[in-house]
Amino acid sequence: MKKALLLVILAVFLAVTVNAQGWWLPPKEAVIGVLVTEEVFHERRPTGVVIVVQPPDPQVQTEIMGRLDANGYTVKAFSIDPGEVAAAIQNPALGVAIARRQGIDILIIGEAFAEYAGAAEGLFYYRSIAEVKAINTYDGKILFSSSVTGTANDISENIAAKLALRDAGEGISGLIIPADAVYIGLAVNIVESQNFPREFTDRDLGWRWLNEVQERILNELPLRYANKVILPMYSTSQDQNVSNRRAELIAQNPQYLIFFEIIGLKAKWYPNSEVDYSIEVRYQIIEKEGQKILATKTFYKERREIEPKFYDTSATLEFYYNSRFRELLKDLANEVYINLGAKLMDIIDTSTTLAMSATLQTTAQSSVENYIATVKLLNGEAYNGTIQGMIAIKSDTGTTVQVKPEDMSELLRVYGETFKITLKNGTVIKGEILLPDMTLVDSLIGARVIRYQDVDKITVRVKTY
């Protein structure tokens, strides 16, 4: 009875947490069961089909259970009669009742599917969607609910489908037990399209556009930023169009959302296989906390090309990968990244600063100085030595952080009185140095006072003797 009361209290708290964060951390005391059905469609998934298959090697369910187990949670095998699976998926209350009788406190239940997206360059492409809910079996309250998409390709159809499901499983698991990373969700809505097959615009374009953007971001971001960011793609259960469900998407997303709107997509075809393409895209970067719009920008691109009609090819993936239309999307995605890249790096820097400020210590500096700092001034002069005391910086978020000089790899003036400190562990802190000057000590020359307003750059290296 006492345990049940505790879980009810935790459930109420966690329900509020999900609404505020978009990810979830289950209570450690809970016994958790998982039921996620899966199916692979080697063509398009028929509309309205309920996934009731329990394959012998479920990718999404395995990813979720593995993530829970690796993080110290008690995971119990959930037993259900195969004839009751369909009813439990359609009516989770049935599955919850069965789980409670088996001593399970929280049931994670949902469905996932992978569908054939096409073939190109000798590879089969599949995309997937995983949708799950976590339900408190004592009161039936939903503690967590989200859907995440995945993609993969391989020379084998079956392996490509499994990899796509695993990709979605990793994504949804990362929301149940968040990774130590910054989450920036991607979503798209198609407002208008003209002279494209409806099937192409409704089911393919959103997915292809987000893939082009995601690929560009991960390829172009400097490695230390790319290693700290997760870019889940959000969608409805049917396709990649989100129909202006921004409020719901913001609720699902843990930290930030980049919401794209394809305002206009037009094609004008000519008898000689020429076509005039035009596309207009707007994005908004939305911060979960306070639902603030951090940035917005509209892009427009048009060009005349020669290529077969989409009508004649049914917009197959093979055609798309070799089309001029894809080149148009790639060029536009590149323009978007050029505008978006610096903003993403600032978001990652800021989020990392907040996490780091909670762990940085203001302990006394070590008595043994095992580093050399090179201080370069704006006038070109440079001095070597060790910096006495700590460097106090007020970050862009308003947090004051004290940094040991030996923990830095670089301090760089960004603009005006704003500096960026890069720590040896890759953390970046950007803001204003609070102290007016530093004392730099050289073993031969002695102490020298240097004003921060004169500093251009400081690099720190380990002594080699």
pTM, to two decimals: 0.59
Q: Can you tell me which residue has the tokens 């005006």?
A: 416
Provide the pLDDT for residue 21: 39
Q: In the chain, where are the structural domains located?
A: 1-179, 180-359, 371-462
**Regions of the chain short of the pLDDT cut 50:** 1-21, 236-241, 311-315, 354-368
- Secondary structure class of 70 (helix, strand, coil): helix
Assigned superfamily of 180-359: ABC-type transport auxiliary lipoprotein component (3.40.50.10610)
Provide the pLDDT for residue 434: 83
In sequence order, the β-bridge partners of residue 119 are 124
**Closest C-alpha among 445, 410, 442, 402 to residue 428:** 410
Helix axes 324-357, 206-220, angle to 10 degrees: 60
**Closest C-alpha among 280, 278, 104, 100 to residue 196:** 278
Query: pLDDT tens digits, residue range 74-113?
Result: 999 998 888 888 888 888 899 999 999 999 999 999 999 9
Provide the pLDDT for residue 282: 92
Provide the pLDDT for residue 368: 43
| Amino acid letter, residue 418 | T
Provide the pLDDT for residue 109: 93
Same fold? 1-179, 180-359: yes
Phi-psi region of 21 (alpha: psi -120 to 50; beta: other; left: phi over 0): alpha
Please give the structure tokens belonging to residue 347.
Answer: 């978001």
- Secondary structure class of 429 (helix, strand, coil): strand
**Closest C-alpha among 361, 378, 385 to residue 419:** 378
Could you tell me which CATH number the domain at 1-179 has?
Answer: 3.40.50
